[in-house]
Amino acid sequence: MIDLKLPRPAAPAATVARRADTRRRDRNWVLALVLLLVLEVLYFSVTVSGFFGNGSGLLALSEQFLDVGAIALGEAVVILAGEIDLSAGTLSSLSGIVMAVLWQQQHVEIWVAVVIALVLSGVIGAFNGLVITFFKVDSLLVTLATQFILGAVATALSGSSPPYGFPGSFVSIAGTGTIGPIPNQLVVFAVLAIGVAVAVSRTRMGRSLALIGYNRPAGRYSGIRIERTVLGAFVFSALMAGVSGILVSGLYNAARDDIGNSLLLPAITVVVLGGVDIFGGRGRISGVIVATFVLGFLTQGLLVAGDSSLSATMVTGILLIVCLVLKIGLDRRAGLDVRAMLRQRIARTSGPRRAGEAS
């Protein structure tokens, strides 16, 4: 038998040029973020007394926002696929509460409780993904409902007095411990960030996520298992939210049911600031990593300068709007039809799109 392998047709020159231009603009966006981070640190170090802490250095400040970075890594994967996860913040709170209750009330060994909390987070993410993919409900609506449910459960479990006083080994490893001058939380975040960056940029799974977000019918036509891939994205997002809850609990040596409410908006801002297209299909995890520190040091600089947490939250919201406007403006200058992308995003929840995807 003769095995004839036909050559794959070459992409049109215009398509190749457009892809190269997109990669160039994404790379320039990340480089601009790096420059912004350097200027930001220099500004606060000169204008804000005590910005570096009491001799603890700049690295120690990162402990205050790496929980947001962990959620942002998971959120970026979901948004790449053209979806969104609004339950990540409250799931972070629930993860910490479950771990604390198991340890304090059920006398489960602390690290076993951590594993159980992470497994539960993954199960909740799988629930979100199953409802979204198999019942064809929009992710915004599903995760919004889950957000309310998880918040209520976390409040009920924590009771009137949130659990606190974890073992010293847990607080050191997951909280305030260091390896030399480097906080343990920064090491954990670096490992997660590098793993996610490699998975998204170098594996078939990452390419599938981007194609699903960019053109879902084309992804299905090319053989991608849409439901399985989206389900995996929501499980991963939930696991990252669970990790965030563990980090928060270790940092403050207490599990709080309300801490997650303040994590979601900064996490989504980090994703958008990092250059991930809010419509899906485009973005770099390296940009999300840099944006974590840009927004984190901006918030910490404002707080050290004496501004209230409300002011920092307001700045976060303003920054999100500015990033969206700037990204849309740059896309228009590059000749992209932003309204067409918006229609494609809306079409993901419409009847014709579902009918077209029926297998």
CATH of the domain at 332: 1.10.3470
B/e letters for 71-109, b = 16+ CB within 10 Å, e = fewer, are bbbbbbbbbbbbbbbbbbbbbbbbbbbbbbbbbbeeebe
Whether 313 is covered by a domain: the verdict is yes
Q: Look at residue 87 and give its three-state secondary structure.
A: coil
Q: Look at residue 257 and give its three-state secondary structure.
A: coil
What pLDDT, on a 0 to 100 scale, did the predictor assign at position 152?
Answer: 94
pLDDT category at 352 given cuts 50, 70, 90 is very low
- Which tokens belong to 40? 């930001």
Min mean pLDDT across 56-65, 66-75, 176-185, 248-257 is at 56-65
Q: Look at residue 254 and give its three-state secondary structure.
A: strand
Beta-carbon contacts of residue 191 (< 8 Å; ≥ 6 apart): none
> Which residues are registered as beta bridge partners of 254?
164
Rounded to 5 degrees, φ, ψ at 102 are: -60, -40
Look over the chain and give the mean of its residue pLDDT values, rounded to a whole number. 86
Whether 201 is covered by a domain: the verdict is yes
What pLDDT, on a 0 to 100 scale, did the predictor assign at position 106?
Answer: 92
Which amino acid, 337? D
User: Quick one: three-class SS letters along 166-225?
Assistant: CCHHHHHHHHHCEECCEEHHHHHHHHHHHHHHHHHHHCHHHHHHHHHHHCHHHHHHCCCC
What pLDDT, on a 0 to 100 scale, did the predictor assign at position 349?
Answer: 46
> How far is the C-alpha of 235 from the C-alpha of 128, rounded, in Å?
8
Domain count, the chain: 1
Min mean pLDDT across 68-72, 124-128, 143-147, 257-261 is at 257-261
Whether the Cβ atoms of residue 56 and residue 268 lie closer than 8 Å to each other:
no
> How far is the C-alpha of 294 from the C-alpha of 41, rounded, in Å?
9
Whether 221 is covered by a domain: the verdict is yes
Whether 13 is covered by a domain: the verdict is no
pLDDT tens, position by position, 289-313:
999 999 999 998 888 888 888 888 8
Whether 124 is covered by a domain: the verdict is yes
- pTM to 2 decimals? 0.89
For residue 6, pLDDT over 60 is answered with no
What pLDDT, on a 0 to 100 scale, did the predictor assign at position 353?
Answer: 42
For residue 23, pLDDT over 90 is answered with no
What pLDDT, on a 0 to 100 scale, did the predictor assign at position 222?
Answer: 87
> How far is the C-alpha of 323 from the C-alpha of 340, rounded, in Å?
19
What pLDDT, on a 0 to 100 scale, did the predictor assign at position 186?
Answer: 95
pLDDT category at 351 given cuts 50, 70, 90 is very low
pLDDT tens, position by position, 254-274:
998 888 888 999 999 999 999
Angle between helices 204-214 and 66-80 (to 10 degrees): 70
Give the domain extent around 107: 60-357
> How far is the C-alpha of 235 from the C-alpha of 59, rounded, in Å?
30
Whether 7 is covered by a domain: the verdict is no
pLDDT tens, position by position, 50-67:
777 644 578 888 999 999
325 or 129, greater pLDDT:
129
Q: Look at residue 311 and give its three-state secondary structure.
A: helix
Whether 33 is covered by a domain: the verdict is no
Tell me what the mean pLDDT of segment 246-253 comes to.
95
> How far is the C-alpha of 329 from the C-alpha of 80, rounded, in Å?
20
For residue 354, pLDDT over 60 is answered with no
Whether 95 is covered by a domain: the verdict is yes
> Which residues are registered as beta bridge partners of 183?
178
Residue 155: half-sphere exposure toward Cβ, Cα within 13 Å: 8
Is the four-CA dihedral 300, 303, 309, 313 of positive or negative sign?
A: negative
> How far is the C-alpha of 235 from the C-alpha of 238, rounded, in Å?
5
